[in-house]
Chain A
Amino acid sequence: MSVEQSASAPIGAQHRPQFGGVDDVLIRLGQAGYLADRATATTVFLADRLGKPLLVEGPAGVGKTELAKAIAEATRSDIVRLQCYEGLDEARALYEWNYKKQLLRIQQGSNAATASGETWDDASDDIFSDEFLLERPLLTAIRREDPTVLLIDEIDKSDVEVEGLLLEILSDFQVTIPEMGTVHAKRRPFVLLTSNATRELSEALKRRALYLHLDYPGPERERDIIVSRVPDIAPALADQIVRTARALRAMELKKSPSIAETIDWAQTLLALGLNTLDEAAVKETLGVVLKHASDAAKAAGELRLN
C-alpha cells in the first residue's frame, strides 16, 4: 500500500479508502440503487483506492451525476456540488470575501480604534480572517472533516480558466488564499468530474484524473435498471422498451434517448395501462423519449410507423 501512496499522495491530506474491492463497490452501489457495470465499479474502486479524481465523460443521460450521488450514498458521505456554467469564476467556485461585512467591521472599528489605539495592521489582519470568508463549493469540500463527495458537474460547460483553477485542488487537495495562506484538505474528498465532451478538456486536467467513458448500458443491464426503477413493469415489456430504445439510438438522432427517458417511457406505458409496445403505443408515446420534431419524424419513418 505504501508504494503507491507515496507516488501520488500529497503531503498532509489524509486519505482513507472506503471500498474494500471491486465487488464491494458493485454491491454497495447496488444497495444505493445504482446498477453499475464492472468497468464502472473498477474505476470507482481505483479512484477511491488511489485517491485520485475521477473524470466521467459520456453522452447526456447515461447516469454520470447519478453515479456521484450513489457513491455518496454508498459511502455515507455528503455531496458538495459545483455546477459549472459559462462565466463561472473563482468567486463562485472557490471563495469570496464578504465585502459588506468587512466594510461594516472597518466602520465600526474606526470609532473604537481611536479610543483603544488599534492600529491598521490589527484591523487588516482581522478583516481577512475566517469570519469574513464566504466558502464556495470547492473550499467547502476541502475543509470538511466528514466524508465528502465533491461533484464538479458539467466541467465542459465552464470556461478554460476554471480548469486551471481546479488543477491545484485536484492534484494536491489544497487551496491557496493569498491573504490567509494555503488551506490543506483535512480529509480528501472523493472528487468526481462529469463532462458531456462538448469541448476537449486540457491535458493537464486529464493527467490528474482517472478517466471513465460511460456509455449507454448493454441491453441486459438497461433492462435491470428499468425494472429496478419501475418495479411494477413486466420484464417482457421492459425488454421491448430497451430494444426499441437501442434501435432509436442507432439512428443518429439529434438527441438520443437517455436512460432517464427510457425509465420515463416505462412509467408512461405503465400509467397508460399498456402492456405491449406495438406501433400504436410507440406512436402515441414517442414524445416521451424524443425531444425534437425532426427526430420523431425520422424515427417514425425508420420504424415504419405510418
Chain B
Amino acid sequence: MSTATVETKGLLAHLTGFVAALRGAGIPVGVGECVDTASVFAAVDVINREDLREGLATVCVKRPAYRLAFDTMFDLWWPLATGDGEALGEAGGGDPGQDGEDGDGEFGDGEPDIDAWRKALADALMDGDSETLKRLARRAVSKLGKGAAGGGRESYYSYRVMRALNPDTLVAQLLDGLLNKAESERGGMQEQVARQTIKDRLAEFRQYVDAEVRRRVAEDRGKEQVAKTTVRPMADQVDFLRAQSDDLAELRRTVHPLARRLASRLAARRRLGRSGRLDFRRTVRASLATGGIPINTHHKPRKQHKPELVVLCDVSGSVAGFSHFTLMLTAALREQFSKVRAFAFVDTTDEVTSFFSPGEDLPRAVQRIGNEANLVWFDGHSDYGHAFEIFEEKWPEAIGPKTSLLILGDARSNYRDPSLQTLKKMVSRARHAYWLNPEAQRMWGSGDSVATRYADVIEMKECRTAQQLADFVHDMLPGA
C-alpha cells in the first residue's frame, strides 16, 4: 500500500497508459473498469507480479480471445526485469534462490556451447518444470537471440533462438526418455500420449521465448512502438481469406461456440412466445379448483415452424480459408436441426448434407466432400451462374416458403455468365435470403467479381472475420 501512495501519480499515469494500450490493441475497457484497475492496485500485493497480472486481467479481459493481447501488453508495461534479467528477476519476480549460478558458469560468456544448451533444454523439457523452462528461455534469448536489425542496430529474435536450439529435433530423444519411464514399447498409445506431452511442453517453452523477446525489444525501442507492431490480430478479427494454418486452428476454437450460438439463436426465436391461444376448456376446468376464478390460464401450444436452412457454399480454392470455416458452421447447424440442407459448389453443385451426418468427424467430412462430391464440371474454376442453374435444375424443391437461404462465397465467377435470373428466382421463393461475402466491400465488383450485381438481387453482407459473422448472427438472424 505504501508504494502505491508514494508514487500514486506516476502509477496512475502508468495505469491509464496501460489501459489506453489495451484499447489500442482492440480490448474494450470501459471507464468503470479503468476505475476498478486502480482498486486492484490497492487490493493486491503489487510486489507479486503474477497476482497483479491476474487481478488486472479479471477486470479488463472479459473474453478469452483478448487474453493473449492482454498478456503481451502486461509484459510490456510491467516487465519482469531489465537487461539480462538476472538481478531484478530474483529480487522482484517472486522466485528467489535457484536462479543464476548453474547457468552462466556452465554455458560460458564467450561462444555459446550449443550442445550444453540443448542438453539443458532437453532436461528441462523432460522434467516439465515451468520455472526452469522460463529461466532457460530468458537466458537463451539474451545469449542466442541477438541479431542485426539493420542500420547497425541489434535486436532480438525468437527464430534465432529456435534455430540455434532446434528443439524439434529433440523430440525423438525426449520420447525415448519419457517412454523408458513409462516402461512400455513404442508405436502404441503410450507414444501418442508422450508425443502430446512433449508438444505441450515445447509450446510452453516457445511461449516463454516469445515473451522474453518482446520484453527485450520493448526495452530497446520503447513499449509504445512494440505495442503497435507485435500484437497479432485477435482470432475473431483474422481475415478468413488470409488465415494461416495456426490461425485456422485458433479460428476453429472461436467459431465453434459461435456456430452453436447461431443455432441456439434460431432455436430461441422458435420458442419465443411459446404459449399460444387461450385454451378455454382447460382454463375453465382448472378454475373449478379455485371456486370458478380462473387463476391459472392454460394455453394451446403454438404451432412450431421449424426453421429450414439451405446453405450454398463455394468451396473453390480461392476461398479455401472461408469455405473451411463455413463448412464447420454448416456442420454445427446440421447437428442442431433436422432441416438443414447443405450444398457445395465450384462450377457445379452437389448436395453434401449426408456428409455432415451427426457424429461425423469434421476434417474427414471436408476431405470426403473434396473427394466424393461432384463439384467440378468444366475446369474447376468458380462458376456461380452454372452452379445456380444446376441447383435449380436438380433440387427445385429445396427452397420453399419456410426456407432461409444462405449463400457463402466471394462472387468471383471468372467472367462467366452470372445467371442473375436464376438467383432471383431462388431468392423470391425463399423466406429469407442472405449472402455472406468474405471479401472487403470495396473489392466488390472489381475484376471478375459480380458481387455488386448479385447484391441487387440478394442481401449481401461483408463477412471477413469471425467477429463480422457474429455481428451478422446478431443482427440478421432474428428473422429466420
Q: Are the C-beta atoms of B189 and A279 separated by less than 8 Å? A: yes
Q: Are the C-beta atoms of A211 and B51 separated by less than 8 Å? A: no
Q: With A207-B32, A210-B59, A211-B58 in contact, do A197 and B43 touch (Cβ < 8 Å)?
A: no
Residues of B within 8 A of A159 (CB): 268
Residues of A within 8 A of B188 (CB): 279, 303-305
Least CB distance, B304 to chain A, in whole angstroms: 14
Q: With A198-B261, A293-B359 in contact, do A46 and B40 touch (Cβ < 8 Å)?
A: yes
- A199's contact among B36, B59, B261, by CB below 8 Å, is which? B261
Segment from A37-45, A115-123, A138-146, A181-189 that makes contact with B: A37-45
- Does A226 sit at the interface, judged by CB under 8 A? no
Residues of A within 8 A of B39 (CB): 3-4, 7-8, 50
With an 8 Å Cβ cutoff, the count of chain B residues facing the other chain is: 56
Least CB distance, A227 to chain B, in whole angstroms: 17
Residues of B within 8 A of A210 (CB): 58-59
- Does A105 sit at the interface, judged by CB under 8 A? no
Q: Are the C-beta atoms of B44 and A304 separated by less than 8 Å? A: no
Residues of A within 8 A of B36 (CB): 7-8, 50, 52
Q: Which of B28-50 contact A (CB under 8 A)?
A: 30, 32-33, 35-36, 38-40, 42-45, 48, 50
Of A42, A200, A212, A244, most B-chain CB atoms within 10 Å? A42
Least CB distance, A178 to chain B, in whole angstroms: 20
Least CB distance, B327 to chain A, in whole angstroms: 15
Q: Are the C-beta atoms of A219 and B128 separated by less than 8 Å? A: yes
Least CB distance, A133 to chain B, in whole angstroms: 17
- Does B91 sit at the interface, judged by CB under 8 A? no
**Chain B window 172-206, contacts with chain A (Cβ cutoff 8 Å), 1 for yes, 0 for no:** 00000000001010011111111111011000000
Identify the closest chain A residue to B61 (Cβ).
Answer: A211
Identify the closest chain B residue to A212 (Cβ).
Answer: B58
Measured in the bound complex, the distance between the Cα atoms of B37 and A50 in whole Å is 11
Measured in the bound complex, the distance between the Cα atoms of B184 and A206 in whole Å is 49
Q: Are the C-beta atoms of A305 and B359 separated by less than 8 Å? A: no
Q: Are the C-beta atoms of A247 and B40 separated by less than 8 Å? A: no
Identify the closest chain B residue to A292 (Cβ).
Answer: B359
Q: Are the C-beta atoms of B67 and A246 separated by less than 8 Å? A: no
Q: With A199-B264, A302-B192 in contact, do A42 and B197 touch (Cβ < 8 Å)?
A: no
- Does B100 sit at the interface, judged by CB under 8 A? no
- Does B168 sit at the interface, judged by CB under 8 A? no
Identify the closest chain B residue to A171 (Cβ).
Answer: B32
- Does A76 sit at the interface, judged by CB under 8 A? no
Q: Are the C-beta atoms of A21 and B200 separated by less than 8 Å? A: no
- Does B360 sit at the interface, judged by CB under 8 A? yes
Q: Are the C-beta atoms of A246 and B261 separated by less than 8 Å? A: no
Measured in the bound complex, the distance between the Cα atoms of B43 and A49 in whole Å is 7
**Chain B window 116-134, contacts with chain A (Cβ cutoff 8 Å), 1 for yes, 0 for no:** 0000000000001000000
Residues of B within 8 A of A206 (CB): 62
Of B197, B265, B295, most A-chain CB atoms within 10 Å? B197
Q: Are the C-beta atoms of A4 and B193 separated by less than 8 Å? A: no
- Does B115 sit at the interface, judged by CB under 8 A? no
Q: Are the C-beta atoms of A243 and B193 separated by less than 8 Å? A: yes
- Does B54 sit at the interface, judged by CB under 8 A? yes
Measured in the bound complex, the distance between the Cα atoms of B339 and A184 in whole Å is 49
- B44's contact among A46, A47, A99, A240, by CB below 8 Å, is which? A46
Least CB distance, B296 to chain A, in whole angstroms: 9
Measured in the bound complex, the distance between the Cα atoms of B89 and A123 in whole Å is 73
Identify the closest chain B residue to A159 (Cβ).
Answer: B268
Residues of B within 8 A of A254 (CB): 359
Identify the closest chain B residue to A59 (Cβ).
Answer: B257
What are the 4 closest A-B residue pairs judged by CB atoms, nearest first? A4-B39, A294-B359, A247-B196, A42-B54
Q: State the A residues within 8 Å of B (CB).
A: 1, 3-4, 7-8, 21-22, 38-39, 42-43, 45-47, 49-50, 52, 55, 57, 86-87, 99-100, 103, 159, 197-200, 206-207, 210-213, 219, 240, 243-244, 246-247, 250, 252, 254, 278-279, 282, 292-294, 298, 302-305
Residue pairs across A and B with Cβ atoms less than 8 A apart, 15 shown, are A4-B38, A45-B43, A46-B43, A55-B62, A87-B271, A103-B290, A211-B58, A212-B58, A246-B200, A278-B184, A302-B192, A303-B189, A304-B187, A304-B191, A305-B188
